[in-house]
Amino acid sequence: MRIAIVSDIHGNLPALQAVVRDIARRGADRVVNLGDSVSGPLLVHDTAQYLMAQDWLHLAGNHERQVLALDPAAPDIMRTQPSDAYARAQLGEAELAWMAALRPSVRLSPEVLLCHGTPASDITYFLDTVMPDHMRLATAAEVSERMGAVDAQLIACGHTHIPRAVRAQNGTLIVNPGSVGLQAYDDDRPYFHNVENGSPDARYAIVEKVGEGWTVELIAVPYDFEPMAQLALRNGRPEWAHALRTGYMTGHLE
């Protein structure tokens, strides 16, 4: 069993299409999408339509939840929640209904659990911990605490955009495929921090059951990012343009 894992597409359809071509070249038995598919200033509607046409298992990320909960008439919504507000304005009833039917975590099989953040939260970082002055790799104890009582050989998570594979103390392999569509961002929860992958390549992972356990490939795929950077600029998001071009942060990125 070979499973391709994508996550955090954020409306970047060209990056997603490059990943899909790479998956076809390498081969996979199925594809799963861990959420945060459309929020941001890029090709929101086209990306939703593309995903709706795929025979994949899709999860809801925190941004799906936030887009659905957003009040488009709220004052200053484009200033306070620009990525989610832009996405909401681009989506129709069919796309919103599709998003509303998605779940934040799914048991793919008795030994595989899929989630966006952690099994219990769509906004908690699973494999990283934010400190007041930096972000660091989560300790083994923190990973075990966030895993809770989940019994699985493999857990796939997204949310942080950082490609990573960690073997928990109980032997569970926890895989974050990284982000298909956005290689840097910043956040102020619980403290201000930057997340940076240092290159613009689209990221995804392939996991495979081999013998008694699971193996993982963390994959970086080049694509033509400049049209998306130009689109971000036209939509008033220069910090997105910089992140898309470089994989590093400048200024504020919601």
Domain with residue 151: its CATH number is: 3.60.21.10
Dihedral angle, C-alpha 245, 248, 252, 254, nearest 10 °: 80
Tokens representing 111 are 């030994």
**Does 72 map to a domain?**
yes
d(CA 2, CA 101): 26
What are the tens digits of pLDDT across the range 167-217?
Answer: 999 999 999 999 999 999 999 999 999 999 999 999 999 999 998 899 999
pTM (two decimals) = 0.96
d(CA 100, CA 29): 26
Give the pLDDT score at 69: 96
Q: Which residues pair with 59 in a beta bridge?
A: 103
Mean pLDDT of 86-94: 97
Half-sphere exposure of 197 (CA within 13 A, CB side): 27
d(CA 182, CA 184): 6
For the chain, report the end-to-end CA distance as a whole number of angstroms. Answer: 37
**Does 168 map to a domain?**
yes
**Does 253 map to a domain?**
no
Q: Check: CB of residue 203 under 8 Å from CB of residue 6.
A: no
**Does 251 map to a domain?**
no
Give the pLDDT score at 72: 87
**Does 71 map to a domain?**
yes
**Does 153 map to a domain?**
yes
**Does 254 map to a domain?**
no
Domain housing 122? 2-246
**Does 177 map to a domain?**
yes
Number of domains in the chain: 1
Could you tell me the pLDDT band of residue 251, with boundaries at 50, 70 and 90?
low
